[in-house]
């Protein structure tokens, strides 16, 4: 396929495909060896997986000054300068490939000057080749709600796991599981509630809905009733909460001394390392998920499953929250993730991506409602659905793995990504489910 070039002059945009007859030449003829006088300059403006944007500058140029752009020594486009700076958008390129560009100055049909060679590389895609192992735990009342991977050998999954003791006469309820790189171990996380009058209830079987680790020695667990407990890497750090004064239970994100908690009906709280405070979120929608980079976090809020209200994005900086422009964001969005604020990904009833200031709904080969999205980078994302879909985005395409669960019995609730490992959790009619994928 012949690459497409988009010619953009300052304050003027001209889109031209390289065809046989036009202002531009597609000849493979190699220009003569150019002179160097120092009036032609090139720089890389943007790189994508199949396109590059380069800037061509010619000092002292006029509208009669001609130019030729070469790629890998062959002429790919020529024309006249519309201003001193011109942007050239070279598309339909190959991912993970170096391209050598040179700009030539043309006067009276002759090459009179040349830029230095600009080496530009398209972005790398990632491999979608994964081997999956599926594990089942507990009985038909068991489920897992969340998972967080500190490293491939330090992973926590939470929910409710009900098993029978050795005599099968009594069931035992666990609320967490830990993976050490070899096997999963059942854990009971303590939760404490102060009912007043000196009555403190300490339980070990409260189902847990959310887990997050700002660092390996600060792992937070939030129960269905808003109880909280932390793991410092060696022991439990128990917290006693008054009845009705629990933490929001949906998701967490942040650092040890700047941690956010989100929940239903716009509930938003902040932990500064010593105490928690309720923040004004600015929304009455359920805040379903939160993720951040640096000192800024984004939340996605909506009503569950296709109610009439739109989804909203909330930006958090410190203790300030404000609703962000959500033009084009579909309804019923459940989760979001991003590596930089320039490109944000969200899933739910749809898959959407925000580039700049506008959200766009994009196709994704999912069979069910998408519950969670996480990633390593913009070219290495995973999403899971309530019908067992596991999907990987390599920067260009989404890949699916239907053979993991051909009968779609797995309801996958959450996904965590850590390097070449993916962990997804949920449940099926017979018990809790954990999927562990390893890239090969």
**Statement: residue 10 has pLDDT above 50:** no
Tell me the pairing of strands 286-293 and 296-302.
antiparallel
**Statement: residue 23 has pLDDT above 60:** no
Residues 218 and 164 in one domain: yes
Residues 276 and 398 in one domain: yes
**Statement: residue 196 has pLDDT above 50:** yes
Q: Please write the tens of the pLDDT for every residue from 381-396.
A: 999 999 999 999 999 9
How many Cβ atoms from other residues are within 10 Å of residue 72's Cβ? 11
Q: What is the mean pLDDT of the chain?
A: 88
**Statement: residue 9 has pLDDT above 90:** no
Residue 264 phi/psi, 5-degree rounding, is -70, 160
Query: How many helices, marked H, and strands, marked E, lie in the chain?
Result: 0, 41
What's the CATH code of the domain at 50? 2.60.40.10
Q: Please write the tens of the pLDDT for every residue from 244-282.
A: 788 888 999 999 999 999 999 999 999 999 999 999 999
Residues 135 and 85 in one domain: no
**Statement: residue 211 has pLDDT above 60:** yes
- The residue written with tokens 């700009």 in the block is 103
- Residue where a domain terminates, one of 74, 104, 121: 121
**Statement: residue 55 has pLDDT above 60:** yes
% residues pLDDT > 70 (the chain):
90
- Residue where a domain terminates, one of 121, 139, 170: 121
> Which pLDDT band, with edges at 50, 70 and 90, does 83 fall under?
confident
- C-beta of residue 433 within 8 angstroms of C-beta of residue 425: yes
- C-beta of residue 354 within 8 angstroms of C-beta of residue 324: no
Residues 245 and 354 in one domain: yes
**Statement: residue 345 has pLDDT above 80:** yes
Predicted local confidence at residue 12, as pLDDT = 35
Residues 102 and 181 in one domain: no
**Statement: residue 63 has pLDDT above 80:** no
**Statement: residue 8 has pLDDT above 90:** no
Residues 145 and 115 in one domain: no
Beta strands in 166-232 (DSSP E): 171-179, 184-187, 191-194, 200-203, 208-215, 218-223, 228-231
Helices within 338-388 (DSSP H only): none
Number of domains in the chain: 2
- C-beta of residue 56 within 8 angstroms of C-beta of residue 70: no
> Which pLDDT band, with edges at 50, 70 and 90, does 308 fall under?
low
Residues 269 and 287 in one domain: yes
- Residue where a domain terminates, one of 79, 99, 121: 121
DSSP state of 294: T
Tell me the pairing of strands 240-242 and 191-194.
parallel
**Residues in contact with 407: Cβ distance below 8 Å, sequence separation at least 6, in sequence order:** none
> Which pLDDT band, with edges at 50, 70 and 90, does 14 fall under?
very low
**Statement: residue 31 has pLDDT above 60:** no
- 3-state DSSP helix/strand/coil percent for the chain, to nearest 5? 0, 55, 40
DSSP state of 411: E
Predicted local confidence at residue 25, as pLDDT = 36
- Find the domain containing 108 and state its range: 5-121
Q: How many Å is the Cα radius of gyration of the chain?
A: 27
Predicted local confidence at residue 305, as pLDDT = 60
Predicted local confidence at residue 28, as pLDDT = 42
**Residues in contact with 166: Cβ distance below 8 Å, sequence separation at least 6, in sequence order:** none
- C-beta of residue 46 within 8 angstroms of C-beta of residue 53: yes
If phi > 0 it is left, if psi is from -120 to 50 it is alpha, else beta; for residue 230 that is beta
Q: Please write the tens of the pLDDT for every residue from 355-379.
A: 878 899 999 999 999 999 999 999 9
- C-beta of residue 261 within 8 angstroms of C-beta of residue 268: yes
Residues 92 and 148 in one domain: no
Higher pLDDT, 188 or 168: 188
**Residues in contact with 337: Cβ distance below 8 Å, sequence separation at least 6, in sequence order:** 291, 344, 345, 373, 374, 375, 381
Strand partners, 156: 148, 178
- What is the Cα–Cα distance from 369 to 172, expressed in whole angstroms? 32
Residues 108 and 146 in one domain: no
- C-beta of residue 52 within 8 angstroms of C-beta of residue 69: no
Q: How far is CA 246 from CA 34, 39, 55, 213, 222, in A?
A: 72, 67, 55, 19, 9
Residues 297 and 383 in one domain: yes
Higher pLDDT, 24 or 113: 113
Residues 115 and 139 in one domain: no
Predicted local confidence at residue 247, as pLDDT = 87
Tell me the average pLDDT across 152-160.
Answer: 98
Q: Please write the tens of the pLDDT for every residue from 85-110.
A: 889 999 999 999 999 999 999 988 89
**Statement: residue 215 has pLDDT above 50:** yes
What's the CATH code of the domain at 217? 2.130.10.10
Residues 160 and 221 in one domain: yes
Tell me the average pLDDT across 326-346.
Answer: 92
Highest mean pLDDT: which of 211-215, 308-312, 406-410? 211-215
Which pair of structure tokens corresponds to residue 64?
């009669």
């Amino acid at each position: 396929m012949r690459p497409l070039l988009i010619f953009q002059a300052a304050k003027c945009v001209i889109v031209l495909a390289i065809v046989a007859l036009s202002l531009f030449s597609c000849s493979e003829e190699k220009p003569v060896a150019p002179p160097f006088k120092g009036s032609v300059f090139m720089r890389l403006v943007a790189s994508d997986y199949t396109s590059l944007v380069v800037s061509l500058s010619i000092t002292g140029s006029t509208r009669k000054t001609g130019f030729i752009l070469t790629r890998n020594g062959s002429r790919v486009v020529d024309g006249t300068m519309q201003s001193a700076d011109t942007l050239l958008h070279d598309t339909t390129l190959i991912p993970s490939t170096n391209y050598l560009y040179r700009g030539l100055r043309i006067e009276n049909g002759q090459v009179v000057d040349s830029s230095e060679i600009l080496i530009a590389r398209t972005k790398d895609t990632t491999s979608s080749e994964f081997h999956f192992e599926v594990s089942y735990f507990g009985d038909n009342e068991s489920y897992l709600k969340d998972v967080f991977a500190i490293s491939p050998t330090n992973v926590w999954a939470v929910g409710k796991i009900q098993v029978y003791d050795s005599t099968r006469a009594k069931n035992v309820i666990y609320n967490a599981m830990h993976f050490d790189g070899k096997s999963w171990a059942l854990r009971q996380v303590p939760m404490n509630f102060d009912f007043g009058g000196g009555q403190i209830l300490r339980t070990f079987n409260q189902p847990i809905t959310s887990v997050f680790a700002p660092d390996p020695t600060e792992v937070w667990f939030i129960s269905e009733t808003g109880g909280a407990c932390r793991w410092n890497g060696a022991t439990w750090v128990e917290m006693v909460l008054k009845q009705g004064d629990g933490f929001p239970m949906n998701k967490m994100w942040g650092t040890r001394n700047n941690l956010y908690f989100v929940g239903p009906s716009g509930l938003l709280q902040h932990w500064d390392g010593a105490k928690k405070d309720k923040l004004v979120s600015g929304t009455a929608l359920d805040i379903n998920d939160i993720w951040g980079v640096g000192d800024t976090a984004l939340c996605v809020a909506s009503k569950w499953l296709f109610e009439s209200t739109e989804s909203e994005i909330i930006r958090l900086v410190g203790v300030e929250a404000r609703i962000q422009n959500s033009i084009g964001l579909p309804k019923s969005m459940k989760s979001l993730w991003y590596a930089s604020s320039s490109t944000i990904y969200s899933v739910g009833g749809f898959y959407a991506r925000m580039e700049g200031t506008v959200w766009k709904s994009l196709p994704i080969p999912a069979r069910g409602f998408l519950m969670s999205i996480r990633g390593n980078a913009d070219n290495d994302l995973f999403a899971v659905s309530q019908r067992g879909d596991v999907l990987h985005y390599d920067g260009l395409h989404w890949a699916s793995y239907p053979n993991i669960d051909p009968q779609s019995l797995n309801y996958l609730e959450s996904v965590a990504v850590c390097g070449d490992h993916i962990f997804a959790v949920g449940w099926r009619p017979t018990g809790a489910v954990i999927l562990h994928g390893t890239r090969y």
